Amino acid sequence: RVHAPGTPEYETGAAVFAGPGTPEAVVRPSSAAEVADAVRAAVAAGTPIAVKSGGHGSDPVTGGVVIDLADLSTVEPAGDGSRLVHVGAGARWGDVASALAPHGLVVTSGDTLDVGVGGLALGGGIGWLARTHGLTIDIVREVELVTAAGDVLTVNADSHPDLFWALRGGGGNFGVVTRFTFEAAPVDGLVGGHVHFDQSDVRAVVRAWRDVFRDAPDELNSTLLVMPQLMPEMPAGPQMSVALVGTEDELRRLLEPLLSLPSVTDVSLGPVAYADLLEEGPPGKPPFQFVGGNGFVPDLSDAALDSFVRALDREVPTMLLLRALGGAFSRVPADATAIAQRDGQALLAVNGILPDDASDDQVAAARAGAAEAVAFTNGRYSNFTPEFGDDVAEIYPPATLERLRAVKRAVDPGDVFRASHHIAP
């Protein structure tokens, strides 16, 4: 099915989170064989291909053909007594969570219902259970891939092992993934919620958060977000989200150094279902831009934390995000996947929030304001760095990038798949 401008399938397929696109056509295949037909036809015609799963990680395209995977979105437990689950790349993470809930299983992913399986699971996947089960790429066991030559490959640790390595963190540079097989985990006894703090002592909150995670069990997960006051009705100050595979008493005991801080304003913790932890994201890109940086932080030293907090004191309203890593994330060997920074204790994002029409000077000031904090990181997280385009050396350490390029040369020498983070052959 090829959809031309003016049809509902075209409008849906051409639109991404960042806005509407204007491709020549949208193709909506319903099998890997149909994806292969589309790839062969586009390659033969010299037409650029964009691949869309959930549309949350790409810019709207102009021209070319969009392969929209919306009809490849089933979630099927293997049903062979294992915990393997086959998931179509066009599914959304909210669908995966609710389909697996009756089976008592969870596939660790991001924190937002509407984000697509394909983009997140090719780039990393840092979510609610990252310390307990690792990244989404860490639980991929097999991938069905359509190559630039139009072949349908089954890729796993034994079959095309180099390609399997590259598909876990290297993004959409190697072909169209039609299906992932994940090893889900049983989730029993999940507790979590939110704790809010006022702005009186952000440094104390950030330090206490770090101290809690120095000795925390893998079962404890958290994100700490400090937002500037953008609107009068919006409370500013740190907000902590937490999830523990355990009991509420245990959670409160582990969080005691944070819960006893005088700046706590609100605590809401209790039993929660994994599917309910995932949140509705904004319907589209908000009318402002985030300018700054992100990266994996190997050492949450006092100096690093102080620089993160200093970044909030800039003239540009700035947000700070810290996602706890370590735990299962850090037990994966550095060369096992294309995300090598396994010494990361946290993922940092520091961004000035600017209007879309901000001047070059404002953008430069926001970038400079984040630079001191970002200097404490050792590589960006590709899924949080859509603006980097070809600048993948900021994302991958040199040895990882060289290995990715070698796989690219082998599987896509003609550079048909130019992913959001483009690894050139």
Ligand X SMILES: Cc1cc2nc3c(=O)[nH]c(=O)nc-3n(C[C@H](O)[C@H](O)[C@H](O)COP(=O)(O)OP(=O)(O)OC[C@H]3O[C@@H](n4cnc5c(N)ncnc54)[C@H](O)[C@@H]3O)c2cc1C
Q: How far is the CB of 201 from ligand X (least distance, A)?
A: 27
Instruction: Give CA 364 to chain center in angstroms.
Output: 26
Instruction: Quote the crossing angle between the two packed helices 360-374 and 302-310, to the nearest 10°.
Output: 160
Instruction: Look at residue 401 and give its three-state secondary structure.
Output: helix
Which own/partner contact pairs does 147-153 have at CB distance under 8 Å and 24+ positions apart?
A: 147/39, 147/174, 147/175, 147/411, 147/412, 148/39, 148/43, 148/175, 148/411, 148/412, 148/414, 148/416, 148/417, 150/36, 150/37, 150/39, 150/40, 150/43, 151/36, 152/32, 152/33, 152/35, 152/36, 152/178
At residue 329, φ and ψ (nearest 5 deg) are -55, -40
Q: How far is the CB of 198 from ligand X (least distance, A)?
A: 26
Comparing CB distances to ligand X, the nearer of 19 and 257 is 19
User: At 188, which amino acid appears?
Assistant: D
Strands (E), 64-171: 65-68, 75-77, 84-88, 105-106, 140-146, 152-156
Per-residue b or e along 246-275, where b marks 16 or more CB atoms closer than 10 Å to that residue's CB: beeebbeebbeebbebebbeeeebeeeebb
User: In the complex, what is the shortest distance from the CB of residue 386 to ligand X, in angstroms, rounded to a whole number?
Assistant: 6
Q: Minimum Å distance from CB 184 to ligand X?
A: 17
Nearer to ligand X, 208 or 292 (CB): 292
Q: How far is the CB of 247 from ligand X (least distance, A)?
A: 25
CA gap 341, 217 in Å, rounded: 20
| Smallest gap from residue 54 Cβ to ligand X (A) | 2
Residue 23 tokens read as 């491709």
Q: Which is nearer to ligand X, 108 or 307 (CB)?
A: 108
- Which CB, 89 or 208, lies closer to ligand X? 89
Q: For residue 2, how many C-alpha atoms fall within 13 Å in the half-sphere facing its CB?
A: 10
**Judged by CB, which is closer to ligand X: 155, or 208?**
155
- Least CB distance from residue 72 to ligand X, whole Å? 8
Report the distance separating Cα 247 and Cα 253, nearest Å: 10
Q: How far is CA 192 from the centre of its chain?
A: 21
Q: Least distance (Å) from ligand X to the CB of residue 83?
A: 21
Residues interacting with ligand X, by CB under 6 A? 16-17, 51-58, 69, 89, 110-112, 115-116, 118-120, 122-127, 171-172, 176-177, 281, 383, 419-420
> What letter would DSSP give residue 104?
T
Pick between residue 52 and residue 380 the one whose CB is nearest to ligand X: 52
**CB-nearer residue toward ligand X: 124 or 192:** 124
CB nearer to ligand X: pick between 87 and 309 = 87
